[in-house]
Amino acid sequence: MDYYMPPQLQQVQVGNMYYLEDVPSMPYRVPNQTWAERPPIPFYCIDGQRGFPLSDAFARAFSRLQDPDRPVFEPTTGAKLTFHVQWAEYSLFSKAKNVVTQRRSCITSISRAKTAYEVAKVVKTFIDQNSHHPVSNNYWRVGPGFIELDHIYLLELRNTSVGSYQAVLAVVRQAPPH
C-alpha cells in the first residue's frame, strides 16, 4: 500500500530528546469529483514550531497556537465540513463538524483555535474507536499504551473534496540515544 507522506520534512526536531514524525496516510479522494482545491491550512505554535499539540487543543489551551482567533474557512463553505483521519494500518475515519458560527445576523468561520479543537475531538474519537483494532505493526498503533492524543500534533488540514478536509498529523517520538 502506498502511503502519502507530506512533501515537507518528514521529521522535525522538538527539543533535544524528541522529534515529530509525520503519520503516513493515503490521501482521501472522491472518485470523479472535480472542485477548486483550496490551499492547505497549516498550524504552527507561536515559536514557529510546525504543528500544534492535539492534547492542548482538546484541553482548549491555545496560548501557544499561532493566530488562534483568525477565521479558517470561507463563510460560503457551508455550515458543516467533514474531517478525515487516514492513518497507517486503519480504515478511513470521518466525522462532520460545524465550521461556521452565527452571531446576530453575521455568519463567520470558526477560528483556528476552534478548528484545532474540533479536529482534536475527531482524532480522539478515532483513537477511542480503534484502540482494540488489531494491526500488523504496533509502530503506528493507537490506544492506551501506544499512540494517544498526547503524542499527536496537527500539522495542517488539506482540502480533499468539496466539503471535506484531511488532517495531516505527526507523532512525537523519542530520539534514539547517540
DSSP 85-112: E--TTS--EEEEEE-EEEETTEEEEPBH
Asked if residue 68 is part of any domain, the answer here is yes
Q: Is pLDDT larger for residue 56 or for residue 32? A: 56
Where do runs of H (alpha helix) occur along 44-163? 54-58, 112-130
What band does 77 get if pLDDT is binned at 50, 70 and 90? low
Per-residue pLDDT tens over the stretch 115-143: 999 999 999 999 999 999 989 989 999 99
Q: Domain of 66?
A: 11-174
Report the pLDDT value the prediction gives residue 109, as an integer from 0 to 100. Answer: 87
Asked if residue 90 is part of any domain, the answer here is yes
How many Å apart are CA 29 and CA 143, to the nearest integer?
A: 27
Q: How far is CA 122 from CA 152, 166, 177, in A?
A: 12, 11, 34
Report the pLDDT value the prediction gives residue 11, as an integer from 0 to 100. Answer: 46
How many Å apart are CA 114 and CA 120, to the nearest integer?
A: 10
Asked if residue 1 is part of any domain, the answer here is no
What the block records as the C-alpha cell of 57 is 487543543
Asked if residue 92 is part of any domain, the answer here is yes
Per-residue pLDDT tens over the stretch 6-15: 333 344 455 5
Asked if residue 135 is part of any domain, the answer here is yes
Report the pLDDT value the prediction gives residue 50, as an integer from 0 to 100. Answer: 93
Using a pLDDT cut of 70, give the percent of the chain over it. Answer: 88
Q: 32 CB contacts (<8 Å, ≥6 apart)?
A: none
Fill in the amino acid letter for 46: I
Domain count, the chain: 1
Instruction: For residue 27, give the nearest of 157, 173, 140 by alpha carbon.
Output: 157
Asked if residue 57 is part of any domain, the answer here is yes
Asked if residue 5 is part of any domain, the answer here is no
What average pLDDT score do residues 76-84 get? 82
